[in-house]
Amino acid sequence: MGTNIASISPVDRILMGPGPSNVPGPVLRALSSPTIGHLDPEFLKIMNEVRAMLRGLFCTQNELTIPISGTGSAGMETCLANMIEPGDRVLVGVNGVFGARMVDTAQRCGAKVTPVNQEWGRAFDVNQFRIAAGGKSYKLLAVVHAETSTGVLQNLEGFRDLADELGALFLVDTVTSLAGVPVKIDDWGIDLSYSGSQKCLSCPPGLAPVTVSSRAMESLNARKSKVQSWYLDLTMISRYWGNDRVYHHTAPVNMIYGLHEALRLIMKEGVGRRIQRHIRNSAALVAGLEALGLMMVVPANERLTTLHTVRVPDGIDEVVIRQQLLANYNLEIGGGLGPLKGKVLRIGLMGASSTRENVSLCLSALSGALRRQGFEVVDDPQSAIAEAYKEHIYDSSQLGRSSFL
């Protein structure tokens, strides 16, 4: 059979789902560069540059700011497994799939978890956590900044103060926010954060940027027991990424090439301009969706600009819509998860996929797919998006200096 297997030739899709996003040509070319050893001096130089650029993107001075070898979920497990010892109390916000995933993972680490539940599609008020804490102390306070399953952006104001009240470290999931919306680790007092390479960074899936504060490192070094995961043990991984360069595991060399180039492209565009690009394209997409007669799930003041959830009208089969967009337009969008399955569409505008051309194509494709199922489109989405772009222009006074500079 092996002699008859052809070389792969994947279709070049337009990726507007919840991830991955489209990968720019320079990143793909970097991935195909010659593989060298993970302790080669040239590769060590690349590692150092990746660390420096990640610090700039996270807006942090944290020494331990590195890409973990694995997807965003590996980043989550890294943060939880290194901080939690059996019996530790952990407070976790759950308003979507990924908050629930943190609960599950923390429990597997032996934590006594108190979930703070909120309606899917809505953000938290920090007082919900204060009430749920019940006056007890906690090892970790964990929240999702950008909930990929619902499109909610969580305002983090007040959470550092609450973490201090609880004696807790503050952990934030930035998988769908890093490089798409502002993330300010040091200014916001975040102790641990993890992200994913495949969302707004527009690198293939396979790496999880993680940053760890000195306060969290002190907690890690004071553990009474070994970290339960050998592979994700930061006490060992940090020695490979630090000055010692002690071998831990073989780094995914070519993936780190790709991340280096993805970060370089972000630096070239400028973080402020990149964030404004996401704002503009999101405003245009929402205007077009509402012109079609569709309803957004998340209120405007709690809505992500990188991932959008829109309600599926009664009588419309969302699976058929997604199948038609893929077959007729080579365009991928996502469906709902958990209690939102079959009820919503998830449309991503992340990184390289966040373009005016993609907004226009997606709305035209959706209009046609809805009409084919008998839905009466209210208005022309193209006129609505044109008006939205007129209202949302680049404001150079708001761009600020890039954190890379």
Q: Read off φ and ψ for residue 329, nearest 5 degrees.
A: -125, 0
Whole-model pTM: value is 0.95
Q: In this structure, what token pair is assigned to residue 339?
A: 């209690």
Domain at 271-398: CATH code: 3.90.1150.10
Report pLDDT for 1.
56
CATH code 3.40.640.10 region(s) in the chain: 25-267
Q: Please report which helix (H) or strand (E) contains residue 281, including its range.
A: helix 271-292
Angle among Cα 76, 88, 70 to the nearest 5 degrees reads 15
Report pLDDT for 326.
98
Spatial CB neighbours of 248, under 8 Å, sequence gap ≥ 6: 236, 237, 239, 240
Concatenating the DSSP letter of every residue in 42-110 gives: HHHHHHHHHHHHHHHHHT---SEEEEEES-HHHHHHHHHHHH--TT-EEEEEESSHHHHHHHHHHHHTT
DSSP 296: B
Q: How far is CA 196 from the centre of its chain?
A: 6
Please say whether the beta carbons of 107 and 199 come within 8 A. Answer: no
Question: Mean pLDDT per 10-residue run, the chain (405 residues)?
Answer: 83 97 98 97 97 98 98 98 98 98 98 98 98 98 98 98 98 98 98 98 98 98 96 96 92 98 98 97 98 98 98 98 98 97 98 98 97 94 94 62 42
Three-state SS for 286? Answer: helix
Q: In this structure, what token pair is assigned to residue 291?
A: 């012109």
Report the C-alpha gap between 4 and 322 in whole angstroms: 33
DSSP 404: T
- For the chain, what is the radius of gyration of the CA atoms? 22
Report pLDDT for 404.
44
Q: In this structure, what token pair is assigned to residue 163?
A: 């973490």
Q: Please report which helix (H) or strand (E) contains residue 219, including its range.
A: helix 214-221
Report pLDDT for 392.
82
Q: Read off φ and ψ for residue 153, nearest 5 degrees.
A: -105, 120
Domain at 25-267: CATH code: 3.40.640.10
Concatenating the DSSP letter of every residue in 313-347 gives: PTT--HHHHHHHHHHHH-EE-EE--GGGTTTEEEE
Report pLDDT for 3.
76
Cα separation values, 310 from 148, 275, 326, 343, 348, Å: 13, 22, 18, 9, 11
Report the C-alpha gap between 161 and 401 in whole angstroms: 27
Concatenating the DSSP letter of every residue in 156-205 gives: -TTHHHHHHHHT-EEEEE-TTTBTTB---TTTTT-SEEE--TTSTT---S
Q: Is 111 exposed, middle or buried (0-12, 13-18, 19+ CB in 10 A)?
A: buried
CATH code 3.90.1150.10 region(s) in the chain: 271-398
Report pLDDT for 395.
63
SS (H, E, C) 54-66: HHHHHCCCCCEEE
